[in-house]
Chains A and B, each alone.
Chain A
């Protein structure tokens, strides 16, 4: 069974600065996807960024980028130029081919003005 671990229950960052959220996972699969989802207080989960395991290049979406270390089974999210609207719960998630989406426990991000 796949597991996803987010070791930082809470993180905080100053507006306009950079923050990195950590995620590790455990799997024996070689074909899989990794995701970061954002869940604001409204509770609607939104996809932030996605990484395919076979792609060596780290995914980037505007101010959001990942550091994917396949051998270390690590998938961290970097948020640059943090904005107040980035404040939310962030979930790392994993899905192998033919299996279900498995979420970590989440990291609550606070952005200080």
Chain B
């Protein structure tokens, strides 16, 4: 079974530029998550999708971050414009359902450096 795929693996941009990350979850997984992991910290949830609907985006900085999962499968996370403090690893995860005991399977992450 293929795992969660993410691309690109690394990205370096200048501040005020825009960037997009892509995630393809495990086949059949209805729930998709985007996390931000700043160096030395645990991951923090940015947004959770159930199929193509948003369940939780309370910690998403909506003035610059956006995410979509139009067909309920793969997802894109965008930052526009980027700030220095957005430098982090962006992790995508998926689970079969949204129950609290569901195992979340993580992708390898995209490491973003904003200069």
Please list the residues of chain A having a beta carbon within 8 angstroms of any beta carbon in chain B: 4, 31-33, 42-47, 50, 52, 91, 93, 95-101, 103-106
Contacts of B43 in A (CB 8 A): 45, 91, 103
State how many angstroms separate the Cβ of A65 from the closest Cβ of chain B: 18
Determine, out of B15-23, B65-73, B99-107, the stretch whose residues face the partner at the interface: B99-107
Q: Which of A32, A47, A104, A105 contacts B104 (CB 8 A)?
A: A47
With A and B bound together, what is the CA distance between A4 and B43 in angstroms?
A: 12
- B41 touching A33, Cβ below 8 Å: no
How many chain-B residues does the 8 Å CB contact rule pick out? 25
Q: Which of B3, B48, B100, B109 contacts A43 (CB 8 A)?
A: B109
Please list the residues of chain B having a beta carbon within 8 angstroms of any beta carbon in chain A: 3, 33, 40-45, 48, 56, 59, 89, 91, 93, 99-101, 103-109, 111
Q: Can you give 21 A-B contacts (C-beta < 8 A)?
A: A4-B42, A33-B100, A33-B101, A43-B109, A43-B111, A44-B106, A44-B108, A45-B106, A46-B106, A47-B105, A95-B100, A95-B101, A96-B100, A97-B100, A99-B100, A100-B56, A100-B59, A101-B33, A101-B104, A105-B41, A106-B42
- A52 touching B101, Cβ below 8 Å: yes
- B100 touching A91, Cβ below 8 Å: no
